[in-house]
Structure 1
Amino acid sequence: MRSKELFKTIILSLLVLMSAVLTYMTWNFSPDLANVNSHDSKDKHTNTIGKTLKGGMSQAITPYQIIHSNGDETEGMGATKNNVKTLIKPLKDQKVTHSERMHSQHNLIIPDLSNNFVVLDFTYQMPLATYLGQVLNINAKVPNHFNFNRLLIDKDHNGKLKLYAISKDRHDVVRMTTTAKSSKMIQALAESDKAMRPYSDIITNKDTIDKATHIFAPEKPKKLKTYRTIYNRISVDAMNSILFNDSVVVRSATSGTTTYNNNTGVANYNDQSEKYRYTNLSEDEDKSKNMKETIPSTFNYINGHGGFTDDFRLFSTDNDTGELTYQLFLNGRPTFNTDNLNQIKVAWGKKGIFGYARALLKTNVTIDSGGDSEISLPGAEEVRASLANNPQLDFEKVTNIALGYTMNDKPDNKDIEIQHNSEFKPQWYVEYNGKWHPYSKDGGLE
């Protein structure tokens, strides 16, 4: 009897001890989150909406046209990816051995510029150090905070290339001596000769009267094709998984706009306009206005998740707001759309993405519309004369005349399941007082 009581006591003691141990383990349990975090990070890192650009920044930070000025002859071409790659190849991985900044109060004249040089024209201004270092991989010491939107490529008497970076207002230039061989540029021009077409030299004001500062435009754009593009849609969930750090709360509105948010950000998507906009709430109110940081950072961010789903290129930089616009190009020419469905707008903060807006569309297939839809536009001289003689315009405020494509959005209907498509029609575009406008047949701007 006594041994039976002892056995019960031992069993009871063991049960109490086991209960105490289990309670202790429960209170002090700390799950191993290493694998979970690693898995989540991997998912977010590999979550893409398109293919990344393997060629780096030189595929998105490009000129919009390439000009060859040789004596009295001027030729040019649209900046297709192959054209750009060929012409900048002689400059890549070189060095700037000497640089000098020059300023002119009046018309900019470069005395040592030869009669045979190449022009890379950009629609935006950017830091010279960023373009040389990040795009061309050129080792260079150049003046700090110098922005340019035109680069001249010339040769010196030593068989090397000289570069002239010209500011947007055409009053400042940085002259650079490089280690690049002029023979390589001559070869590149020979390879591009078939793509070159006659261009006109246009003077609009006192800042464009020198050969280094002329406005260049295609002389006679004939038989230009129109194109039709059919799109695929980008998943809203894919965009949310890229931009939000954790799960989101969905709030739907009757207007067709759905709002997604969590503690770090908020996004809106309209299923009729197919536009998506994200704002990072964890960032400070001020966007970064340092383009030396913003341009490479936004490119790397967008490219990291395959955001350059089509031929998007940097088109404008706003130093006042810090916002950048990447715009869709077709055949090396910029496209324009009244609803901005052809744009990616981004801003950078102190620690990461500040804002991100785009249409959730990407090209499925693009075809030309056939021979019956070819268009012949008026020549550059006719456009110039019409603008100059228009009493409603201040011709001196014209800073660019370029060929582009008007993107006419043509959704078949409002049904989300119906294929979305657009037509691209060739059109003259004019940069007037800092903004781009389509040129109208009556000689004005729309």
Structure 2
Amino acid sequence: MGLKYLEQTKTIVLIVLVLMSVTLTFSIWSYHPNYEKVDKTNAIDISMEQKRQISEVVQPYRLLVNQNGDWTGTADTSDMTRVFDELKKWELSDVSAVSNNFSISKLNDLMLLDNRLIFQFDSEVPMPIFQNVLPIIGKKVPEVSFDHMIISWSSLNQDDVPANELTVFFSNAKQKQLYRAKIKIQNEKTFEKKILSELKNYPSYTPVQRDNTNTLFLPTEPQKMKQYKYLISSTSIDDFKSALFLTPKIVKMSPDNKEGVDRYSDDKSIMTIDRENYKVNFVDSTANENQENIQKTNLIMNTFGFINQHGGWTGDYRYSSVDYNAQKVDYQLYIENLPVYETDLGTTKIETYWGNGRIYRYNRPTYKLAYLPQEKNKQIELLSGEKVIQKLMASQSIDFNEIAALRVGFTMKKDVKRSSIYLFEPTWFYKVDGQWHSIDEIDREVGGDTNGLE
């Protein structure tokens, strides 16, 4: 009996072991660990300041109006924005070529006619980019550029022109090009009420005509302007490092205390931080400067997009120039609607160079500015346009006909009593060979007043 039960017991144990083996094997095959969900690693999102729209960066620097021979004008951004906002309600269409031999003298003639609304830009603006400022309807916008937009409303009273239609000219005297379009307005009364009536309240301007060069437009009366005070601080250098280097973790820093700079580098690029002058210079040594040029529209949009991506608008920087051959775009610092052309620091511009599908040179300030409302801003009376002209014409070192532009801007100077405070003084500037110069230089030539102000 015992042997019989022993054999049965062995059989049962064997069956149990086989079943356990099968069960264990199946469990191993079908087992899925309950790992925690791991998010995919994203690229570092560096944002120094808020991103901007292209229409905030590409803007005219001045609006001029000629109503029956009476000239008025403004450099106030809010004034010009109001006009553009009204124009956006209407229809701009039918952009077409008029002339490929459009000279400076022809531009002067066109501007000096009665009933003209003129927007002036610092540099040529490609039409596809301008669509972000003032949309154009109809067929595809041509890849043309302009630096003057001239709206004529003389046609409102002509029988051979459709009712409520204005003529718009886009000129590029440097390229000798003139284009024409039309704006369909709601009605004549709305145009007079919303646009023309307000323009009459702008300050008076005087056109200064010269031989074989562009007409200058200057305020007729002396201008009273404020001197502003701003607190200066530095943007995080780590933000620049993360924005400019492809692999920030491998970047090494080597200080040069004698020169007052810090150098950051990897195996391809070098970034130099000038601590004293709040300036950064970046160079990607692998980029080829002789690459094939891209269209102006893409060049401007690429450099704008690069700055926008890392929130590099540490101030009110605006598009100021494009060098198509060098693939270079500059953005100028503004405060209180006026450019800052002179400083005792490193620079007041963001300079961008595009090549090999990315930024290969990047020069700019590292400082940020904060307005100090509690500070008293003294009033300064600038010279009238007429007196500025007299001073320039009397200078022995300046050919008056070589002056490309004449504007009021700011000089940025350190407060002698407080190192972290900077003064912004309104100053007349003139432009020769692409460079802005303070009228103070003329005063220093003759040993006179060094501020160029009254």
Q: Where on the TM-score scale, by shorter chain, does this alignment land: which range?
A: 0.7 to 0.9
Contact 2:128 2:142 survives alignment (8 Å): no
SS in 1 for 2:404: strand
| Offset of residue 380 of structure 1 | 0.6
240, 248, 252: which one pairs with 1:249?
A: 252
1:245–1:195 Cα change, 3 Å: farther
1:50 aligns with 2:52: no
**1:122 alignment counterpart:** 121
Contact 1:133 1:139 survives alignment (8 Å): no
Partner Cα separation in structure 2 for residue 324 and residue 269 of structure 1: 21
Partner Cα separation in structure 1 for residue 186 and residue 245 of structure 2: 48
SS in 2 for 1:108: helix
Partner Cα separation in structure 2 for residue 240 and residue 275 of structure 1: 13
Q: Which amino acid aligns with 2:334?
A: F
Contact 1:275 1:360 survives alignment (8 Å): yes
| Offset of residue 139 of structure 1 | 3.8
Contact 2:277 2:346 survives alignment (8 Å): no
Q: Which amino acid aligns with 1:70?
A: Q
Q: Deviation digits for residues 301-343 of structure 1, max 9, x if unmatched? A: 2122221122111122223322221111122111112444321
| Offset of residue 386 of structure 1 | 2.6
Partner Cα separation in structure 2 for residue 85 and residue 298 of structure 1: 24
Partner Cα separation in structure 1 for residue 347 and residue 304 of structure 2: 19
Partner Cα separation in structure 1 for residue 374 and residue 294 of structure 2: 40
1:284–1:330 Cα change, 3 Å: same
Partner Cα separation in structure 2 for residue 106 and residue 237 of structure 1: 48
356, 359, 367: which one pairs with 2:365?
A: 359
Contact 1:244 1:265 survives alignment (8 Å): yes
**1:274 alignment counterpart:** 278
| Offset of residue 125 of structure 1 | 2.1
**2:20 alignment counterpart:** none
Q: Which amino acid aligns with 2:266?
A: N
| Offset of residue 232 of structure 1 | 2.6
Contact 2:128 2:143 survives alignment (8 Å): no
1:385 aligns with 2:390: yes
Q: Deviation digits for residues 196-218 of structure 1, max 9, x if unmatched? A: 2111111133243xxxxx32122
Q: Which amino acid aligns with 1:383?
A: V
Partner Cα separation in structure 1 for residue 138 and residue 443 of structure 2: 45
85, 106, 111: which one pairs with 2:81?
A: 85
TM-score by length of 2: 0.78
75, 82, 93: which one pairs with 1:96?
A: 93
SS in 2 for 1:59: helix
1:275–1:182 Cα change, 3 Å: farther
Contact 2:65 2:199 survives alignment (8 Å): no
Matches within 5 A, 1:47-446: 47-53=46-52, 56-80=53-77, 82-92=78-88, 94-102=91-99, 103-104=101-102, 107-108=105-106, 115-127=114-126, 129-139=127-137, 146-155=144-153, 156-157=155-156, 158-169=163-174, 171-181=176-186, 183=188, 185-189=191-195, 192-193=198-199, 196-208=202-214, 214-246=215-247, 247=249, 248-254=251-257, 255-286=259-290, 288=293, 290-338=295-343, 339-367=345-373, 370=376, 373-410=378-415, 420-440=420-440
Contact 1:251 1:259 survives alignment (8 Å): yes
SS in 1 for 2:253: strand
SS in 2 for 1:293: helix
Q: Which amino acid aligns with 1:189?
A: I
TM-score by length of 1: 0.79
Q: Deviation digits for residues 74-98 of structure 1, max 9, x if unmatched? A: 1111132x22321222343844224
User: What stretches of structure 2 of length at least 5 have no aligned partner?
Assistant: 1-34, 157-162
Q: How many residues align?
A: 399
SS in 2 for 1:39: coil
Partner Cα separation in structure 1 for residue 139 and residue 396 of structure 2: 46
| Offset of residue 275 of structure 1 | 0.8
Partner Cα separation in structure 2 for residue 225 and residue 117 of structure 1: 31
| Offset of residue 423 of structure 1 | 0.6
RMSD, aligned α-carbons: 3.4
1:164–1:273 Cα change, 3 Å: same
Contact 2:104 2:173 survives alignment (8 Å): no
Partner Cα separation in structure 1 for residue 422 and residue 97 of structure 2: 47
Q: Which has the larger radius of gyration?
A: 2
Partner Cα separation in structure 1 for residue 307 and residue 177 of structure 2: 32
**1:5 alignment counterpart:** none
1:216–1:251 Cα change, 3 Å: same
Q: Which amino acid aligns with 2:181?
A: M
Partner Cα separation in structure 2 for residue 403 and residue 145 of structure 1: 32
SS in 1 for 2:383: coil
Q: Deviation digits for residues 30-49 of structure 1, max 9, x if unmatched? A: xx9x967x4341xx23x111
Partner Cα separation in structure 2 for residue 182 and residue 427 of structure 1: 42
Partner Cα separation in structure 2 for residue 143 and residue 108 of structure 1: 25
Contact 1:227 1:368 survives alignment (8 Å): no
Q: Which amino acid aligns with 1:364?
A: A
Contact 1:107 1:170 survives alignment (8 Å): no
SS in 2 for 1:177: strand
| Offset of residue 377 of structure 1 | 1.4
Q: Which amino acid aligns with 1:322?
A: Q
Partner Cα separation in structure 1 for residue 261 and residue 191 of structure 2: 52
1:354–1:227 Cα change, 3 Å: same
1:259–1:111 Cα change, 3 Å: closer
